[in-house]
Amino acid sequence: MLRAVIFDVDGTLVDSERDGHRVAFNLSFAEAGMPDRWDVETYGGLLAITGGRQRLEHYLLGRGRPSIEATRLAEHLHASKTRSFTAMVEAGTIPLRPGVERLVDGLAAQQVPMFVATTGSRDWVEPLLRGHFGSIFEAIVTGSEVSRLKPHPDVYHRVLELAGLTGDGVVAIEDSANGLHAAHGAGLRCVVVCNSYTGGDELSVADLVLDQFGPPARRLGGRDVPLPGGALTAETLAAVTA
């Protein structure tokens, strides 16, 4: 029985990394007068480090910055990056992945409780989710509220605590190996809908792996029409918990 669904954000609900976060990080380098720029391939490698501030610190240490300087500079750059990315969110430039709205609407129609567990910062997570979904999520836990980020399960444990649930009948929807390990670490089933950055991740322990959510809903006379095979639906998620 499907008791709840917990969504990841970056790479899952939204394809936000290549043309969103990466661009915001490069704006923060430019604003600081630094020559560094993360191209698409470099950023893909850095995504192994979860947390934008931690990703910056890792990069700066790797470029030979002394530890204290790397920590201080990462904090400064990440604050700037978060302002830029929040502005991108508020300008409506971070769209949902195709098929996400259909799945969320389908779960809402069946009164399946939905939650969010993300590594991203609350500053931008809130306006992003509010802008796309209103107040449909019963609880949202972000990287701002936990000390250990994915692949640690802390963010999922926090959601389960707020929801008053155990892992039984709860499915996480993720996009990456880091997210998969966090969800499994919290005792959840996990469906991975990978993307151009995470298709090469080691995902063999996932309960289901897809490369897309399926097409957007097709409405005929104001109601959804059945979709061709391969679309992720509430029924698929219920089958994963069986």
Question: Given the rule CB under 5 A, which residues bind Mg ion?
Answer: 8, 10-11, 175, 179
Give me the least distance between CB of 27 and ligand XBP, in Å please: 12
Binding at 21: pick from ligand XBP, Mg ion, none (beta carbon under 5-8 Å per type): ligand XBP
Smallest CA-to-CA distance from 81 within 140, 137, 26 is with 26
Alpha-carbon gap, residue 157 to 163, rounded angstroms? 10
| Greatest extent of the chain over all pairs of C-alpha atoms, in Å | 63
Can 175 be counted among the known catalytic residues?
no
Distance of CA 110 to the CA centre of its chain: 23
Binding at 150: pick from Mg ion, ligand XBP, none (beta carbon under 5-8 Å per type): ligand XBP
Can 10 be counted among the known catalytic residues?
yes
Distance of CA 239 to the CA centre of its chain: 23
Instruction: Kindly tell me which of 8 and 15 has the beta carbon lying closer to ligand XBP.
Output: 8
In DSSP terms, which residues pair with 170 in a beta bridge? 4
Q: Taking CB positions, which residue lies at the least distance from ligand XBP? A: 52
Binding site for ligand XBP (CB under 6 A): 8-11, 17, 21, 50-52, 82, 118-121, 143, 150, 179
Torsions phi, psi for 153 (to 5 deg): -85, 5
Instruction: Kindly tell me which of 132 and 150 has the beta carbon lying closer to ligand XBP.
Output: 150
Binding at 214: pick from Mg ion, ligand XBP, none (beta carbon under 5-8 Å per type): none
Alpha-carbon gap, residue 100 to 77, rounded angstroms? 31
Tokens 């969103």 locate to 20
Helix, strand, coil percent values for the chain (each to nearest 5): 45, 15, 45
Binding at 198: pick from ligand XBP, Mg ion, none (beta carbon under 5-8 Å per type): none
Helix (H) or strand (E) run with residue 73 in it = helix 67-90
Instruction: Kindly tell me which of 29 and 217 has the beta carbon lying closer to ligand XBP.
Output: 29
Smallest CA-to-CA distance from 11 within 96, 136, 130, 85 is with 96
Instruction: Kindly tell me which of 11 and 99 has the beta carbon lying closer to ligand XBP.
Output: 11
Instruction: Kindly tell me which of 102 and 150 has the beta carbon lying closer to ligand XBP.
Output: 150
Distance of CA 190 to the CA centre of its chain: 13
Torsions phi, psi for 109 (to 5 deg): -65, -25
Binding at 51: pick from Mg ion, ligand XBP, none (beta carbon under 5-8 Å per type): ligand XBP
Active site amino acids: 8, 10
